[in-house]
Structure 1
């Protein structure tokens, strides 16, 4: 690892008091930063202000420790110029990926010439999880994006069982499995159309999800590790946030092929921390770039230091910018 001076790091994320430190990837990254002597600040996306050509954030210095219930301590609030006062900005607030989220990417994009923003805000904006993945459709299960009930009925007739989910959902929320008889399909489509203005995603059901949905983490295009997320009883959703359980795993040859195929594009887009989801060792379903998770479980199972690898990659990015 190249030794660099301690960094000033601003974390745009969710409220610190809401963090579940046992499995939170952002907290894991903050612990790794602090261990390297970096100075951390915390702010929320609504704390951003654009004024006189500068992007400002009302932020508080924060110290973190791995103690449940006593995991952070704030200092007095400061106003940071994110271009001049900070070396690295992390965009790590959870979706929804809505106009508020998109606006934050536009604001952070304006500091990119002065400060490294992770992940690259323009690339985050242009690579929503369930749309960017379409660039790799050859690895995906049969997939449809639509608002048309007739199309969904035809897709169900072709594939027998399907999964319907919001295009900009997260955490396994509102994911539905429909069987061959299509019971309540019309009502479900009505619900989706009433709840969201955008189309929704429909995919052929992959029975292999019962054995797990693998989260593979890539750092600057390189595989850092993986964890298998196994659905709970009576569930098809394997997200840890909705009751899935984590298990140690290895990558299949197909999964390595998928990772190798997308690695150059991830690097080129400045998507430094990415989590992809693969079912049955071969079916790519999502590319998570907004606020990917999984590194705490990976490090626990594999004895790795993914937080350290992330900061090594950031150091390399900063060194390359300084040399340019």
Structure 2
């Protein structure tokens, strides 16, 4: 274990954290257990001044006590390039211009402070676009704003799923049956709501048995959890009522992880969650604020938080050589 580190966590408000399943909270607990010092700030608190990146932050201690899970110290101004060893970029999506701007600002401290995940890599790897590099593992997929193209895709595949390109937590994911009922209205709604195109995929009936979240730490499999949709749902996200179940990886899933691992490691994407349906269909590569480690550790008796810190500490050691 290394000497105590100063760690700044860029995340959402501590008051809203659901400690029973929040991955960021679990990572913070693990850091604290290793003797590291934690600071909390939110992305709007970033200021670039005189070539230095400053965050208005507070020291924070955490404990797994519902309703009393954190305690703040006094406000301080942190020079993120000089005062801290690690920045954890863990605020939840939406992946919007605010998020993108934060990655640009954090990129300015490269060479001084380790940012996890690498901010330039996060910016260049949005969940539903980066995955296109691995199309050989994906269900048939289209990205478009064109109603005629969507109708043609539906005719080819029988049933489809339509979802926002930068959505998260299962929000605005629609299943369209073979009759195409309301498809035109749905496309109109998507085009009116978002300036970017949307994603259309062939519906995979095996989703009823679950959507597997596999976590990779520095390119290596840390564990997996199966997320099973609630009754009457196709969405398995725990945030919309899915339930977690213990699982193992299929050979196809191991093949996917072996294919992804080296590239994730190369890009500095140290904590990544991928989603796989039916044991074979890769749908997303989550790099912004992946989740799932609390359930994985509960089922497997593992400590993914410790694995993450071991990988971070190893990266820091290599930076200092």
TM-score after normalising by structure 1: 0.99
1:87 is aligned to 85
Query: Secondary structure of 1:67's match?
Result: coil
Cross-structure match for 1:255: 253
Equivalent-residue separation in structure 2 for 1:15 and 1:9 (angstroms): 17
| SS of equivalent to 1:27 | helix
User: How big is each residue's C-alpha offset from its partner over 1:144-175, in whole Å with a ceiling of 9 and x where there is no partner?
Assistant: 00000000000000000000000000000000
Q: 1:74 aligns to what? A: 72
2:143 counterpart residue number: 145
How far the C-alpha of 1:201 sits from its partner, in A, is 0.1
**Correspondence list, 1:152-231, <5 A:** 152-231=150-229
Q: Where does residue 41 of structure 1 map in the other structure?
A: 39
Alignment partner of 2:32: what SS? helix
Name the CA distance, whole Å, in 2 between partners of 1:98 and 1:54.
24
1:8-87 residue pairs with structure 2 within 5 A?
8-87=6-85
Give 3-state SS (helix, strand or coil) of 1:168's partner.
Answer: coil
CA distance in structure 1 between the partners assigned to 2:2 and 2:231 by the alignment: 48
SS at match of 2:276: strand
SS in 2 for 1:170: coil
- What is the total number of aligned residue pairs between the two structures? 321
Shift of 1:113: 1.0
> SS at 1:191's partner residue?
helix
Tell me how far apart the structure 2 counterparts of residues 4 and 257 of structure 1 sit (CA, whole Å).
34
RMSD: 0.3
In 1, Cα distance between equivalents of 2:48 and 2:320? 26
> Alpha-carbon deviation of 1:112?
1.3
| SS in structure 2 of the partner of residue 55 of structure 1 | strand
Match of 2:132 in 1: 134
2: distance between equivalents of 1:90 and 1:148?
38
Q: Secondary structure at the match of 2:92?
A: coil
Matches of 2:36 and 2:129, distance apart in 1: 35
Structure 1 outlier segments of 4+, above 3 Å: none
Q: Structure 1 CA distance, aligned partners of 2:293 and 2:75?
A: 30
Segments of 5+ residues of structure 2 without an aligned counterpart are none
CA distance in 2, matches of 1:83, 1:226: 34
Normalised TM-score (structure 2): 1.00
Structure 1 distance, partners of 2:219, 2:2, is 22
How far apart, CA to CA, are the structure 2 residues paired with 1:112 and 1:294? 28
Corresponding residue of 1:267: 265
1:27-61 Cα distance to aligned partner (Å, 9 max, x none): 00000000000000000000000000000000000
For the residue of structure 2 that corresponds to 1:93, the secondary structure is: coil
**1:316 and 2:314 are equivalent in the alignment:** yes
Deviation at 1:4, TM superposition (A): 1.0
| Distance in 1 of aligned mates of 2:303 and 2:100 | 31
Find the aligned partners of 2:78 and 2:299 in 1 and give their Cα distance.
Answer: 38
